[in-house]
Amino acid sequence: MAFDGLGRLLNWGRRPMTILVTACGGGYLAMSYIQTRLNEMQESLTRNRVCTENLRRRFEQNQENCCFTILALIPTLSKQILEGMNVEKLVEFLNQTKSQARHPATTNPITQSQSPQLNGDDTESENTRNQKNSSLLDGSSLSPITDIAEKNDKNNATPPLQTSQPDRNQGQEIDFLVRPDGTRIQKRSEIWQEMMCLSFSRLLASLYGIALLTLQTHIQLGLLGRNSYLRSIISPESLTLDDDEIRDQQCILPKCNVLDPTTERRYLTLSWWYLHQGWKKLKDRIRAAVVEALASKNLKDQVSLSDLQMIFESVCKKVELEPDGSDFKFSSILLPSSPCDEVEALRCGGMLPEDCVVNPQLRTLLDETQDFLDCPDFRFVLSSAMNRAIGLCTTNLCRNSSLTGQDPKMYCNAEAIGSRFTELQSNNDSQPWENRVRIVDLVPIISKECHVILNAVPNEYTEAINETRELKEFCSVIYTSFDGLT
């Protein structure tokens, strides 16, 4: 009877017990699965956060390395620009002309280092102008330019410079009085016109030179930093991998084309080309644009702040655009254009003779660099960087001269300048409140500002360009462009 009762009890509770056990077991398995998935998600988030933080830290370190590298390369670029576009030499020649005009030779004919006597009946006003320019330039040797130009304005004729008497410096002066296009400067008025064009050309060459050097350095170190990051995350020492992951890594390694140290040195050495050869093409392009923009102006003309801004915009448009309106390819300036030039850049840059070769890894890196230099994003970043540089330069020119406008911040604030290639209205009736200065008074300030751009420490121009938001975004794209490597 007892067993019969137990059997009836089990038969009665079999279904509820089955349901209870099934529910408990299913709940346990579900909770285990959920907990496992949550742990995996947490580990994945932690791993992604660590990788992101590591990438961010490496990117910031890469940007700092770019800043230090730029500061290390600027002195080389500065020497090339200041020696290749020597405004001070023209000023020295004009000062000699002025001194010889005050004390003319009585018997000897006029040589190339001499010029016909200038009228000297305005000594008092001349001294006043000297004091004004000297105060602006803190004793700069460029201040007598105003005096010489003022005296020349009193002469009805500008006789040519003669070279009838030999001199030991005659050959140097003859070379000095030859324009880049091969034509000779024969009149004093042409010297002053040349000085005006050369001053503006050197100013814009300095701004473009630093901007292009900054972009080139960021591209180079960005690509090398990206490869360094890849090398760190796929190295066997970085993670503990199982057999399948190791096999996957071995398949990835050849595709990533990780660079060896020698190839990296070759790649960085190629920057020698821009610092010693490529900048000359940039100089010629800027000079041609400046000569065209200033063709209708002379040192006696007065300009306002908007006029100066229009000159800058006109030159920049001609530099950055081809005559047909297409974008100019700055890769022809920043990179060697032929295999012979590449080998020459490596040799002159200090590489050993056996290392002066372009291997497949370096060729791939150069091709990728050229792709970045020729892409529309590079043009956009360069325009943004030049906006800030020209804005800062205009601010300094305003501070050192009497140039003001209806809203100085519109022109002088680097953050407030919009598109440079827009039509600016310079109607005097619509802007009667703008102060105007003579170009002859502005040239010494421009010439002095070139030294600030190239030699100042700390350099506010490089800091302004490096802080450009578009540049940082462009660098982040370069640093994370892994699609072509995996």
- The pLDDT value recorded for residue 175 is 55
Higher-confidence position of 24 and 139: 24
Out of 92-106, 187-201, 453-467, pick the least confident.
Answer: 92-106
**Position 425 confidence tier, pLDDT thresholds 50, 70, 90:** very low
Q: Which residues pair with 184 in a beta bridge?
A: 178
Higher-confidence residue: 337 or 172? 337
pLDDT band at 234 (very low <50, low <70, confident <90, very high): confident
Per the CB < 8 A criterion, the answer to whether 84 and 139 are in contact is no
pLDDT band at 404 (very low <50, low <70, confident <90, very high): low
pLDDT, tens digit (0-9, with 9 covering 90-100), for 146-155: 554 555 544 4
pLDDT band at 99 (very low <50, low <70, confident <90, very high): low
Lowest model confidence (mean pLDDT) among 8-12, 51-55, 119-123, 424-428: 119-123
Q: Give the pLDDT band of residue 407 (cuts 50, 70, 90).
A: very low
Whether the Cβ atoms of residue 130 and residue 435 lie closer than 8 Å to each other:
no
pLDDT for 279-307, tens place per residue?
999 999 999 999 999 998 888 899 989 99
**Do residues 320 and 294 make contact, with C-beta atoms less than 8 angstroms apart?**
no
Name the residue with higher pLDDT: 98 or 28.
28
Q: What is the pLDDT of residue 320?
A: 94
Tokens 């995350």: give the residue. Answer: 233
Confidence check: pLDDT of 138 > 60? no
Task: Report the DSSP beta bridge partners of residue 321.
Answer: 327
What are the residue boundaries of the structural domains of the chain, listed by start? 89-186, 190-479
Residues 329-356 have pLDDT tens digits of 999 999 998 999 999 999 999 999 998 9
- How many alpha carbons fall within 13 Å on the CB side of residue 359? 14
How many C-beta neighbours within 10 Å does residue 41 have? 10
Stated pTM of the model: 0.77
